[in-house]
Amino acid sequence: MDLIIVESPHKAKTISHYLKSKYRVIASYGHIIDLPAKKLGIDVDNLFTPEWTVMAGKAKTVEYIKDSLKNIKKVYLASDPDREGEAIAYHIQKIIEETHKNIPIQRLCFYEITAGEIEKALKQPREVDLVKVESQITRRLIDRLMGFYLSPFLWKTLKNYKLSAGRVQSVVLRFIYEKELEIEAFLSKTYFEMKAVFKKNEISFDAVLIQAEDKKSPFEDKVFLENLKKKLGKTFRVSNIEKKETRVYPKPPFTTSELQKDAANHYGFNSSKTMQVAQKLYEGIHLEKGLTGLITYMRTDSVRVSEQALEQLRGFIRKNMGELLSPSPRLYSNQKNAKVQDAHEAIRPVNIFITPKSIETRLSPDEYKLYSLIWRRFTASQMKEAVYEDLKISLENQGSLWECKGKKRLFEGFEKFYPTYHKETILPEIKLNEELNAESVKINKKETKPPSRYTEASLIDKMEKTGIGRPSTYAPTLKLLLARNYIEKVKNTLKPTQIGRVVSQVLVNHFNTLVSVDFTATMEDELDKIETHDSSRLFVLKNFFKELKKALEEAGESLSSENKTEYLEKSKVYHDKPCPVCGKRMVQKKGKYGFFFSCEDYPKCKHLEKKEEVKVYREEVCPDCGKKVIRKKSKWGFFWGCEGYPVCKFTQSIPRKSSSKAKKKKD
């Protein structure tokens, strides 16, 4: 019998369902090999040689894999089809070869978990792609080097050993912090808007003042507008009409970032939740015929679609809604990193005939929402464009110029399946030189608005446009910043915490190059070049380490004792009320059991107050009553409990992190 090794047990079940008893399929439960947790693990003086170790809690998995090799003729490594999956396959191969050098090992690669694709992969196995592995290992080593050398600088500067810096996380934190500085520096300005309200054929519409005498919108002088209002006649003359037909084209099928943004905008999903639900849809859902993979691989920055999938989709549209089918196939492609992305496809349904409605009862509410989103976006991508008529009407009154705009949809096209944010503004039939009587003229006070904070969707958009991170890192980066308490969510926006502000300030002031957009984006490109044979692990690591050492030397010289005092003071979080015992300030501290407030005059004044804990809710609602599920704590640790307690007694344990010691392993 042959053995297939994948990352997740759910994926293993789906593949076993397709292959029946022909193969044995087991899971590695993700990565099993990594750099040691408590030391650098990289010999910087010996070609940056890594010291690989079995991860904490994974020793039993390694033994399980070795035990599974009994009576096995061949091993297939079927981890995910990306750099990370390739690295997992590489490390598993090394583990197997330690004790079973004679067993042939090959790599299976498929982008959808279907019977056809698995059979196709088994007919075309390949060797582990060492170039892709090199790219991923280089990425891991750079992340370790930056974290290992920069984090201690933060510890010493801010007297806090829980802090960390990272290649991607620090740049993203900088985005959020600098946006907050923009908002704080913003000075609101008052201006005035003048509107005339009309009604014709039971349709009400507005015209806005654009120009009067030598002044143009926006208007800061209210007195000027009040005097103009007195001079205006009741009748406005239509001086010009502009009609323009515009076409709105469907977007390509989803990439990872586009899926995360749309799921956030449509359903309020955070990026981690989107990826968790997408993973389930990819790995398999229980349908009538058993476990079935519903979508293609969900970590991709490609918009390409296979010829077979394209033909199937156009056939589906032709049969069910022929009038919406685009005359010729819409072919989408990426310009950037085309070599790296060529093997990948966009995120799409594996079978367009499995409509969301046909399997709604088999999906959870969140799975249904996300599958519907993916299915509709893919379907819309081969439909005709929507057509609008944009109308701009100019009016005159006593030499002043007014304008009103309308938008009318002439043809729905793809928007029937995937609505956009184009709103119609219907105007009545109006002719040139027609005279219209205003029902009223109003002067409204307005204020300029500060920049908006990032949402998860807009931050992912920023990361993608600036080249910071890759599809697999968007969600983990945001999750890490939240977990580190560097940022917090405020009404669905992202705001830096006090400690996040100071950490970013320290890094920008003393490691500006390393946490700059240009440096980080260039590094991402260099890592991509390894995969296309245009660079090498050693070349990239040498250049990076050179920059790192230079930055560390300069940081040591630029950090004064005054800087340290200033940073320490800024990093403190004070209670909004003074100490009830001595009247001094209460400062936030972190102990073994979480945050608390202590009098700043400690140990003279020993007054303590427990900080009110932020409520942590599970994303899924209570399966028994539908209410929210909240994290609670008992003497045995954290657990999930229904907010409806004691009426609803639903509880679920939260597994503790394993504390098993890691075993060392040589590369």
Residue position matching structure tokens 């979080």: 573
Q: Which amino acid makes up residue 429?
A: E
- The domain segmentation of the chain, as residue ranges, is 2-128, 136-186+455-570, 190-249+385-447, 257-380, 574-610, 615-659
Contact of 252 with 342, CB cutoff 8 Å: no
**Whole-number pLDDT of residue 666:** 42
3-state helix, strand and coil shares in percent for the chain, rounded to the nearest 5: 40, 25, 40
Query: At which residue do the structure tokens 């061949």 appear?
Result: 74
CA distance 97 to 6: 17
User: What is the model's pLDDT at position 29?
Assistant: 94
- Distance, C-alpha 165 to centroid of its chain: 19
Helix (DSSP H) and strand (DSSP E) numbers for the chain: 18, 27
What's the CA gap between 507 and 309, in Å, rounded? 47
Q: How many other β-carbons are positioned within 10 Å of the β-carbon of residue 540?
A: 22
CATH H superfamily, domain 136-186+455-570 = Topoisomerase I, domain 2 (1.10.460.10)
Side chain identity at residue 348, one-letter code: R
Distances (CA, A) of 497 to 483, 484, 502: 12, 10, 9
| CA dist., res. 305 & res. 311, Å (int) | 10
- Per the annotation, the verdict on 267 as an active-site residue is no
Report whether 69 contacts 96 (CB < 8 A): yes
Look at residues 448, 456, 449, 474 and name the one whose alpha carbon lies nearest to residue 176.
456
| Class of domain 257-380 as given by CATH | mainly alpha
Q: How many CA atoms lie within 13 A of 50 on its CB side?
A: 25
Report how far residue 467's alpha carbon sits from residue 528's, in angstroms, rounded to the nearest whole number: 11
Contact 301, 83 (CB under 8 A): no
Burial string for 282-302 (b: 16+ CB within 10 Å, else e) reads: bbbbeeeeebbbbbbbbbbbb
Contact of 402 with 208, CB cutoff 8 Å: yes
Catalytic member of 177, 297, 371, 474: 297
Which residues on neighbouring strands pair with residue 598, listed in sequence order? 587, 608
Strand 203-212 relative to strand 651-653: parallel, antiparallel, unpaired?
unpaired
Matching residue, tokens 């705001």: 495
Query: Which positions ≥6 away from 96 have C-beta within 8 Å?
Result: 65, 66, 69, 75, 103, 105
Cis peptide before 218 (omega within 30 of 0): yes
β strands within 376-530, DSSP E: 386-397, 400-411, 435-437, 440-447, 487-490, 493-496
Instruction: Name the β-bridge partners of 633.
Output: 638
Euclidean distance between CA atoms 457 and 465, whole angstroms? 12
Residues of the chain predicted below pLDDT 70: 335-343, 593, 611-616, 619, 635, 655-667
What is the CATH class of 190-249+385-447? Answer: mainly beta
Distance CA 246, CA 228 (A): 36
| Cα–Cα dist 188/179, whole Å | 16
Among candidate residues 112, 30, 88, 121, the one with its CA nearest the CA of residue 284? 112
CA dihedral (641, 645, 648, 653) in degrees, to 10, reads 20
Asked whether 35 and 144 are in contact (CB, 8 A), the reply is: yes
Q: Which two structure tokens, joined as six digits, stand for 427?
A: 């105007």
Q: Is 49 helix (H, G, I), strand (E, B) or coil?
A: strand
Q: pLDDT of 650-660, one tens digit each? A: 888 776 644 44
| Per-residue buried b or exposed e for 456-489, using 16+ beta carbons within 10 Å of the residue's own CB | bbbbbbbbbebbbbbbbbbbbbbebbbebebbee
Whole-angstrom distance, CA of residue 460 vs CA of residue 462: 5
Calculate Rg over the CA atoms of the chain.
30
Distance CA 480, CA 495 (A): 14
pLDDT in tens, 65-114: 999 999 999 999 999 999 999 999 999 999 999 999 999 999 999 999 99
Please give the angle made by the CA atoms of 267, 258 and 452, to the nearest 5 degrees. Answer: 70
> Could you give the angle at the alpha carbon of 641 between the alpha carbons of 635 and 643, nearest 5°?
130
HSE value, Cβ hemisphere, 13 Å, CA-based, for 255: 21
Q: What is the rounded CA–CA span in Å between residue 451 and residue 449?
A: 7
Rounded CA-CA distance 280/244 in Å is 45
Tell me, yes or no, if the two domains 2-128 and 257-380 fold the same way.
no
- Residue 214, classed as helix, strand or coil, is coil
Distance CA 181, CA 501 (A): 10
Question: Whose structure tokens read 């920023």?
Answer: 462
CATH class of 2-128: alpha beta
